[in-house]
Amino acid sequence: MRAKGAKIGLTTVYRALQTLSENGEVDTLRTDDGESVYRACATDRHHHHLVCRRCGRTVEVEGPAVERWAENVGADHGFTEITHTVEVFGTCSACAARVAS
């Protein structure tokens, strides 16, 4: 937007991203450092992310075992309307190969 001459502040950008996240139009991920990053995902179904610590590459993954676990933990403690977020961090094969060479 700035390249096209629009004046926009970071507060406006982050507010818009938060609204998109709340509406389920983008996913909010937390990095190892706790920073929020936003991604437009390929699916609108519930899923989780496998994230490379080095390059940030993200793979969308399903986790049926995690879904069952979250529901069971919630039920065990009398909770309903359970939601959760899971991000798994590692090093992708491309980054691992660069480190090894």
Torsion angle of C-alpha atoms 42, 44, 50, 51, degrees rounded to 10: 70
What's the whole-number mean pLDDT along residues 10-22? 89
- Side by side, the strands of the sheet bearing 87-90 are 58-61, 48-52, 87-90
Residue scoring higher pLDDT (70 or 4): 70
Segment 48-100, tens digit of pLDDT = 889 898 998 889 899 999 999 999 999 999 999 998 888 889 999 999 999 88
65 near 51, Cβ under 8 Å? no
Q: How many distinct structural domains can be found in the chain?
A: 1
CATH code of the domain containing 34: 3.30.1490.190
Range of the domain at 48: 2-100
Q: Which residues pair with 87 in a beta bridge?
A: 49
